[in-house]
Amino acid sequence: MDSKSKPGWGSWLVLGVLVGLLCLAIAVLYVSWDPEQSGAMTGAGYVAMTLGVVATLALGVGLMALMYYSNRSGRD
C-alpha cells in the first residue's frame, strides 16, 4: 500500500468525532462558566494548580526521555 494514499472513510470518521467532541467541550464551557458566580481563586487553588502543572510536565518530560533512551539503547 502506498504511504501517500488518500485517507479512508475511517480517518474522516475519527476526525469528525474528535471535532464534534471539541465543539461539545467548548459549548459546555461556554454555558457553564460564570466568572461572577464562581468567585476568585484562593491561594490554595493557585498552589494546587501549580503543583498539577509541574507534575504533569515532569511526567511528560520523564516519559519522553525514557522513550528516547529506550530507542537509542536498542531495547525496543
The rounded distance, in Å, linking the Cα atoms of 69 and 15 is 32
Q: Are 37 and 43 in contact (CB under 8 A)?
A: no
List Cα–Cα distances, 26 to 18, 53, 69, in angstroms: 12, 21, 38
Report which secondary-structure segment, H or E, holds 56. Answer: helix 43-73
Per-residue confidence (pLDDT) for residue 59, from 0 to 100: 98
Q: What is the pTM of this model?
A: 0.51
One pLDDT digit (tens) per residue for the chain, 76 residues: 556 777 788 899 999 999 999 999 999 988 887 767 767 788 998 999 999 999 999 999 999 999 999 888 877 6
